[in-house]
Amino acid sequence: MRRLLIPFDGSAAAMRAVQYVVKLAGAMTEPLDVVLLAVVPPAGFAEQLLQGKPSEVRALLEPELEDARKSLQPAAAALAKAGVTSQQHVEIGAPEELITQYGKTYHCNMIVMGTRGLGSAGLLLGSVANKTVHLTELPVMLVK
Per-residue pLDDT of the chain (144 residues; tens, 9 = 90+): 799 999 999 999 999 999 999 999 999 889 999 999 999 987 665 555 556 566 676 777 889 999 999 999 999 999 999 999 999 999 998 999 999 999 999 999 999 999 865 554 444 456 888 899 999 999 999 998
Task: Write down the pLDDT at residue 52.
Answer: 56
Task: Write down the pLDDT at residue 42.
Answer: 78
Task: Write down the pLDDT at residue 51.
Answer: 60
Task: Write down the pLDDT at residue 121.
Answer: 43
Alpha-carbon distance 66 to 63, whole Å? Answer: 5
Tell me which fold the domain 2-42+71-143 belongs to.
Rossmann fold (3.40.50)
Largest CA distance in the chain: 52
The CA distances from residue 112 to 26, 37, 109, 128, in Å, are 16, 11, 10, 13
Please say whether the beta carbons of 1 and 108 come within 8 A.
Answer: no
Task: Write down the pLDDT at residue 120.
Answer: 45
The helix (run of H) or strand (run of E) holding residue 4 is strand 2-7
Exposure string of 40-64, with b = 16+ CB inside 10 Å and e = fewer, is beebeeebeeeeeeeeebeebbeee
Sheet holding 85-92, edge to edge: 85-92, 32-40, 2-7, 110-114, 140-143
Is pTM beyond 0.75? Reply is yes
